């Protein structure tokens, strides 16, 4: 369910993702995302997701919990049970999340506090779907790191009520805060041939998430 891509920049990113053995999709509007997910992921599949404003904004998070799938829902558990769920997720059929940044060269950059999200994206679930608005596209990995430090981490720290320097000032202070939100990083440069098509990236022609 791909729609014609009018922007040369988006087309370039999609071609670069495909050249890196990831499957690229495009939709002009966020309100098309749920129908896309419904078409891509079979009913009854075991699914889970990482924390994501984009998944919430598009309605995909609610769709995962609609009863159509076997949903490993991280929002319903805590403590040791959450730790067990994070490990269960590795055998899911589909894992959904967003990207913190996608470069023009078709690389995906993710930052994480506990590393459960980047672990599942890089290994485990049979398929991964990353949904990202056009605001996540950056020229290169340097810009991706800058984007996370100057935009993603501060905004998410405020959203989650974390006491980090960036939540107060909007700037990264390379902190050692107990609430530090950016402890581990993942760069997906390319998928090996055997994993070709495991990772799907849905680019949406609107601004979504941070």
Binding site for ligand SF4 (CB under 6 A): 149, 153, 157, 164-166, 172-175, 177, 180-182
Distances (CA, A) of 3 to 7, 72, 198, 205: 12, 30, 21, 11
Report, in Å, the least distance between residue 162 CB and ligand SF4: 7
Neighbours of 194 (CB within 10 A): 7
Name the residue nearer to ligand SF4 (CB basis): 17 or 181: 181
> Could you tell me the smallest distance in angstroms from the CB atom of residue 186 to ligand SF4?
15
Non-local CB neighbours of 179 within 8 Å, separated by 6+ positions: 157, 162, 163, 164
Nearer to ligand SF4, 1 or 160 (CB): 160
CB of 170 to ligand SF4, least distance (A): 10
| CA atoms in the 13 A half-sphere facing the CB of 119 | 12
Smallest separation, CB 158 to ligand SF4 (Å): 10
- Residue placing its CB nearer to ligand SF4 in the complex, 138 or 181: 181
Q: Which is nearer to ligand SF4, 1 or 183 (CB)?
A: 183
Cβ–Cβ under 8 Å, residues 121 and 130: yes
Nearer to ligand SF4, 155 or 198 (CB): 155
CB of 36 to ligand SF4, least distance (A): 32
């Amino acid at each position: 369910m791909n729609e014609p891509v009018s922007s040369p920049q988006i087309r370039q990113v999609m071609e670069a993702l495909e050249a890196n053995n990831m499957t690229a999709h495009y939709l002009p509007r966020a309100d098309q995302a749920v129908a896309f997910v419904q078409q891509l992921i079979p009913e009854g599949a075991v699914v889970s997701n990482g924390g994501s404003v984009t998944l919430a904004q598009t309605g995909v998070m609610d769709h995962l919990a609609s009863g159509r799938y076997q949903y490993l829902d991280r929002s319903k558990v805590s403590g040791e049970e959450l730790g067990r769920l994070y490990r269960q997720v590795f055998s899911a059929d589909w894992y959904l999340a967003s990207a913190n940044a996608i470069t023009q060269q078709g690389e995906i950059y993710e930052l994480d506090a506990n590393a459960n999200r980047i672990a599942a994206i890089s290994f485990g679930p049979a398929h991964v779907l990353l949904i990202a608005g056009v605001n996540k596209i950056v020229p290169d990995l340097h810009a991706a790191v800058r984007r996370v430090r100057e935009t993603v981490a501060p905004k998410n720290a405020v959203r989650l009520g974390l006491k980090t320097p960036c939540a107060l000032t909007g700037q990264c202070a390379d902190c050692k805060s107990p609430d530090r939100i950016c402890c581990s990083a993942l760069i997906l440069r390319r998928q090996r041939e055997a994993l070709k098509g495991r990772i799907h990236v849905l680019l949406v022609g609107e601004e979504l998430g941070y």
